[in-house]
Amino acid sequence: MANEQTRFDVPDSWGLAGKVAVVTGGGAAGDGIGNGRASAILLARAGTRVVVVDRDVALAKRTVEMIEAGGGEALAFQADVTRASDCAAMVEAALDRFGRLDFLDNNVGIGSRGSVVDETEESWRRLMTVNVDSMFLTAKHAIPAMRRAGGGAIVNLSSISALRPRGLTAYSVSKGAVIALTRAMAVDHGPEGIRVNCVAPGPVYTPMVYQRGMSPASRDRRRKASALGIEGTGWDIGHAVRFLLSDFARYITGHTLVVDGGTSLSAPERDAGGSGG
């Protein structure tokens, strides 16, 4: 019986030290903490070397500065992850600088409001390109490098809107597709030692949210909508991502981890003044 019980001691680094991660959407305005920036910083604190990818390289560079200030190692890389050539170059940059690739954290996404009647064809296609095609393309180019490293892990960012539609039809569809893509890739690449999971954030308060403008009243309503009555931040998402990439999650794949303070359990219909999730 003792031989059947495999001891699995995870070090303080969570098994992340010495590994290499690509984090897309890793920038954020100013010193704000978005989902991608939080993940990049937390991974670096655990000893992972991080390629911080953003369409605005200045934002990625600020994340790198924050990582380096904490003693971590990172590289800023400019890419539009809706382009296959940029995704290929992103992976090559990781290999050239760090020699391997173990993790991919997909954060890039945009929002939209309204029903199928309200949505324009152009907006629909743009949403699917940014929210779904980008994750297909990054994974397509990252997975072969992970195979060569002996395995790896991917986390894709979805949303509770995929699980509880609430007046954001195109966005909900795109984020539902992310969950389906995650589950399919988990089956496809599990035999190669590559785990693929999903985080579904609720309405967290990040630079992407407050740059659009939100009244104190709207922000307070969002906070009260969660079962816990507290406000989520990018750090909450970053901690979930780091867990799913770590050795603590070695037996988890194809899973969608909801990080929303219970909002999807208790929240009323979406507040027109809110954002996120």
Between CA 27 and CA 40 the distance in angstroms is: 9
What's the CA dihedral at 65, 91, 124, 267 to 10 degrees?
-50
Strand order in the sheet with 103-106: 74-78, 49-54, 20-24, 103-106, 152-157, 194-201, 256-259
Whether 205 sits among the annotated catalytic residues: the reply is: no
Between vectors from CA 176 to CA 221 and to CA 33, what angle results, nearest 5°?
Answer: 50
Helices and strands (H, E) in the chain, number of each type: 10, 7
171, 205, 210, 251: the catalytic one is 171
Residues 6+ apart with CB under 8 A from 112: 119, 123, 127, 168, 170, 171
Kindly give the residue spans of alpha helices, DSSP state H, lying in the chain. 35-45, 57-69, 84-98, 121-128, 134-149, 169-189, 207-210, 216-225, 234-245, 263-266
The residues that are catalytic are 171
